[in-house]
Amino acid sequence: MQVKQEYIQLSDLELSSLLSAGDEIAYTEIYNRYHGALYIHVFNKLRHREDSRDIVHDLFISLWNNRDKLVLKTTLSAYLYTAVRYKVFDLISHREVASRYLESVVKFSEQEDGITDYVIREKQFLAIIEQEIAALPKKMRRVFEMSRMGNLSHKEIAAELDLSEKTVKKQINNSLKILRKKLGMAIFTAFIL
């Protein structure tokens, strides 16, 4: 779809309003304005072309699919860069989980048969824990994963996510309360703390 000349002249705010109303030409203009810069931004973080393309592509699909819910509390560019940053975090988090899983499979294959039952139960517990962590609200999960899996301090998380340290601390405490309730004290103490 070709963008009409008058759309090129529109501000981001005007384009956002048109997009929210379902205007495909406004969407195309937003795509044309930001696709290249977002791709470069993601590529500089990941250094992987296909993953970078996929993330930016997913962002624009999500933007279109959720256009009617789009409420900008900041500029369109800030919104897009923040959204793409979360998608990068999600990919990195997924890779870390996959990497840990692969490491556990390798360790499992190297261990003797006598401890097989223990290892299987431990993996089952870890799968349950990962499932409960994944069920946390998105922002809470992100803060929790950065703290527990990324080993970042409250201050580092606050700076990365543009939150106050108090908010980060509260999100982590709330995460721990939810997980403690869902997992039971024994599992929680053994694996989370």
The 10s digit of each residue's pLDDT in 48-86 is 999 999 999 999 999 999 999 988 888 999 999 999 999
Q: Are residues 75 and 129 in the same domain?
A: no
Lowest mean pLDDT among 46-55, 108-117, 155-164: 108-117
Could you tell me which residues come within 8 angstroms of residue 64 by beta carbon, excluding any fewer than 6 positions away?
A: 27
Q: Are residues 118 and 184 in the same domain?
A: yes
Angle at 71 between CA 70 and CA 72, to 5 degrees: 115
Q: Are residues 55 and 126 in the same domain?
A: no
- Counting the structural domains of the chain, the total is 2
98 in a domain, yes or no? no
More confident residue, 61 or 168: 61
pLDDT, tens digit, 9 for 90 and up, residues 1-53: 566 789 999 999 999 999 999 999 999 999 999 999 999 999 998 889 999 99
SS3 71: coil
Give the domain CATH number at 188: 1.10.10.10
Q: Are residues 115 and 73 in the same domain?
A: no
95 in a domain, yes or no? no
Q: Are residues 115 and 183 in the same domain?
A: yes
47 in a domain, yes or no? yes
29 in a domain, yes or no? yes
The values of phi and psi at residue 138, to 5°, are -50, -50
Which residues span the domain enclosing 144? 111-193
Q: Are residues 84 and 115 in the same domain?
A: no
144 in a domain, yes or no? yes
More confident residue, 68 or 190: 68
Give the domain CATH number at 73: 1.10.1740.10
Q: Are residues 115 and 77 in the same domain?
A: no
Compute the residue count for the chain. 193
SS3 184: coil
69: tokens are: 């819910």
Q: Are residues 84 and 146 in the same domain?
A: no
99 in a domain, yes or no? no
pTM of the model: 0.52
Q: What pLDDT does residue 147 have? A: 81
φ/ψ bin of 164: left (φ > 0), alpha (ψ from -120 to 50), beta (otherwise): beta
Q: What's the mean pLDDT in 133-152? A: 82
Q: Which residue has the tokens 């973080």?
A: 45
1 in a domain, yes or no? yes
127 in a domain, yes or no? yes
The values of phi and psi at residue 175, to 5°, are -60, -45
Q: What pLDDT does residue 183 have? A: 67
Could you tell me which residues come within 8 angstroms of residue 28 by beta carbon, excluding any fewer than 6 positions away?
A: 1, 2, 3, 7
Confidence band of 109 (pLDDT split at 50, 70, 90): low
For residue 62, give the amino acid letter. Answer: S
Tell me the average pLDDT of the chain. 83
Domain boundary among 57, 88, 119: 88
Q: Are residues 81 and 18 in the same domain?
A: yes
